[in-house]
Amino acid sequence: MKLGRQRLRLAGVAAVAALALAAAGCGSSGGSNSNSGGGTAVKGGTATVALPPGVTLSWIFPFYAITNSSVYNSEQFQWLMYRPLYMFGNNTNNDVAINYPLSPAKAPVYSNGGKTVTVTMKGWKWSNGESVDANSLIFYMNMVEAEKANWYATTPGLLPDNVTSYKATGADSVQFNLNKAYSSIWYTYNQLAELTPMPEAWDVTSLSGAPGSGGCIKDTAGDKWAKCKAVWAFLTAQSKQSATYATSKLWQVVDGPFKLSSYSASGNVSMVPNKGYSGAPKASIATLKFLPYTDDSTEYTALKSGQVDVGYVPSQDLPPRTGTDVLPATNPLGSSYNLQPFYSFGIIYAQPNFNNPTVGFMIRQLYIRQALQEVMDQPGIDKAIYRGYAVPTSGPAPNTPPGNQWQPAIQQENNEQGPYPFSIAKAKAALTSHGWAMQGGVMTCQDPAKCGTGIKKGQQAKFTYLYSTGQASVTASWQAYKSDASKAGIDINLVGQTFNTIIGQSAPCSPMGPKCAVQVFAFGGWNFNGPGFEPTGEPLFATGAGSNSGNYSDPTMDKLINATHTSNSMSTFDTYATYGAKQLPFIWAPAPYGIQAVSSKLKNVTFNALYTLLPEYWHFTK
C-alpha cells in the first residue's frame, strides 16, 4: 500500500516544500525526455544538483523530531549514507513500491496469525567493517522506546506501543511480537519502514568512547532507557554541530552508496562513493554536489549558463502545457538539457493550527474551514500561475498519478476539487448562515450562538499564513488566494519564511498554549514517503501524532485510521479518505509537478515520486 510516503510513510517525513516538484500524473510525454542512452559511458565526473530555493540539507542523524523532518534531509541526504530498513521507489518516475533489492533487510516474514514478524538482515557491512546486523536494528528500536517524544514517526498506540516485545533471534534476525494482528502491508509500509539500522560505533556518549560503550544496544526499560537517552542526547548534540558533519568519525560510518566529503551550513554539500557499499549498483560518478539557491530565478540562471547538471525549470519559465502531454512542447533550455516530469505521491495544503489561542476556536468550526477552502481557486491558480503543470488536491489521498487506487470517488468530484470547489459565493454563505456579517470589508461575528463555541461577538475572520519563500509561483499562488479570500470577507495575512524556518516551528503544541503562535502553516505539503508509505493518515491526522503540526483531533478520524491498520480492504481505506475529504483537516492547495532539467551528458537520472534520490545509477557520457 504506500506507496508514497505515507507510510503510509504517508506522509512525511515528512513535510514537502511546495516547490514545483510535487505531484501530477502519468500520461504521454512530450518535449525532450531522452536520458537513458546515447554516448559512451565514462566513470567519474562531478554531478551538480540544485536544491530548491531556501532548502538546505540540515540534519544528518537519522533519528529526529518533526522540526528536522523533510524529504531533503531524509530521502535526499541521509538515505544516501544510511539506508533505512526498507527502501521505497526505484530509478523511475512513477515507482512507489517497496524495493527489497535496495534494502539492507530481506522481506519480513509474518506468522502467528499476523502477530509476530521476523526481520532478517542481508549481511551488509558498515564502512568501518561492522556488520549491519540484528544489533544495528535493535539499537534503533531501543532508541525509539527511549525517545518517543523526539521521534517524528511517533503516533500514540502505534510503533513502538504496538510491540509487546522484540529480541534478536540470531546474528541477523530480529523478532517482533505485536499486540494484535495487523495488515502485513500496512505494518511493513508504515511501521517497519520507519526504522533505520545504526552502527555500534554510534552507541557512545563521547567522541572518544569505544563502540558500544554507551550501552543503548543492550539497554532495557529496567533503567527507564537511561543509557539510550544519554546516547540520543549525545548524537543529537553532535547533529546540531553541522560544521563537523564532514569530519566527525561518527558520520563517516555509513552503509549507503555515498559518504559525506564536504559540508557547509550555507547549503554546499559534496558526497563521494562509499567504496565499501554492500549493495548494488555501485556509484559511477566521482562526486555528487548539492548547490543551494535563495530563489528560483537564480537557480534557473545557473541552469541556462550550464553551472548545474540537475535542476528544475520554474513554472514562470515554462510554456503553457497543452493537450495531454506532461512535458512542454518545446524545451526552453535547448539541446543542452533533457526534460523530465517530477511527480509526487503526496498532497499540498495549508495546515491550520487548531490549538492557536487566537484563531483555534474558529479553525475548529467545519463551516469556517469550508469557507477557507472554497476561496481557493485551484483551477485558476493552475492555469494562471502553474501554466497547466498542476492538479487539485482535494483530500487526504493523493490525486496523482491520476486514477491511482487510493483516490476515493469524492476527491474526483468537481474536476478533482472534491466536495468544496472554488466558490466565493458559497464561502460567504457559509459564514453569513452562521451569524457573520460583513463590516468594513471583513466578516465579523454578530451572533456568537451561531458562530460557534469560543467565538465572541466582534471576532473577525482574520488569519495569518506562514508560507515558504524563494519560489515565485508559490508566492503568487498564496497572493491569489489572499485576493479571492478578501472577496468573501476573509482577511489573510501572508508572512513569508524559508521552508526550514517554518518546519522548525511545526512541533505539535498544547491546547491554546504559548508555543502555538503559528496560526496556519503553509510550508507546502506531505509526500507519502515516511512516516508511512501507505497513505492511511496516522502521522498527519491521528490525535497526538508526531507530525500533526496543526494538532487536529477527531475521534471518528482516529477510528477510521485505525481500521486501515488491520484491513487490506480498499473500501476501508475509501471510508477513511472520504471522511477526511469532507472534514477538511487541511486547506487543500494545487499540487504542481516539476519539470526537471538534466544535462544531456548525464544519464540514468530519474525523479522518483517518493523523492528517493538514487545517484548510484547515474553516469556521464563523452
Q: pLDDT tens digit string along 563-590? A: 999 988 889 999 999 999 999 999 999 9
Domain of 556? 1-92+243-622
Average pLDDT, the chain: 91
Q: What is the pLDDT of residue 323?
A: 84
Nearest CA among 234, 232, 152 for reference residue 194:
152
- The C-alpha cell at 77 is 541526504
Per-residue confidence at 37, pLDDT binned at 50, 70, 90?
Answer: low
Residue 123 lies in a domain: no
Nearest CA among 6, 3, 24 for reference residue 541:
6
Residue 425 lies in a domain: yes
Q: What is the pLDDT of residue 277?
A: 98
Q: Which residue has the higher pLDDT, 272 or 97?
A: 272
Q: What is the pLDDT of residue 99?
A: 96
Mean pLDDT of 118-146: 98
Residue 206 lies in a domain: no
pLDDT in tens, 410-423: 999 999 999 999 99
Mean pLDDT of 516-545: 90
Nearest CA among 393, 419, 420 for reference residue 407:
393
Residue 232 lies in a domain: no
Residue 153 lies in a domain: no
pLDDT at 261 over 80: yes
Residue 506 lies in a domain: yes
pLDDT at 297 over 70: yes
Q: Distance between CA 185 and CA 143 in Å, rounded?
A: 24
Q: What is the pLDDT of residue 286?
A: 98
Residue 338 lies in a domain: yes
Q: Distance between CA 353 and CA 592 in Å, rounded?
A: 24
pLDDT at 514 over 80: no
Mean pLDDT of 542-546: 90
Domains: count for the chain? 1
CATH number of the structural domain spanning residue 266:
3.10.105.10
Residue 21 lies in a domain: yes
pLDDT in tens, 467-500: 999 888 899 999 999 999 999 999 999 999 998 8
Q: What is the pLDDT of residue 225?
A: 98
pLDDT at 86 over 70: yes
Neighbour tally for 179: CB within 10 Å? 12
Q: What is the pLDDT of residue 547?
A: 85
pLDDT in tens, 214-226: 999 999 999 999 9
Burial profile 579-589: b = 16 or more Cβ within 10 angstroms, e = fewer: bbbebbbbbbb
Q: What is the pLDDT of residue 510?
A: 84
Q: What is the pLDDT of residue 402?
A: 67
pLDDT at 232 over 80: yes
Q: Distance between CA 231 and CA 472 in Å, rounded?
A: 43
**How much is the pTM?**
0.83
Per-residue confidence at 251, pLDDT binned at 50, 70, 90?
Answer: very high
Burial profile 201-229: b = 16 or more Cβ within 10 angstroms, e = fewer: bbbbbeeeeeebebbbbebeeeeebebbb
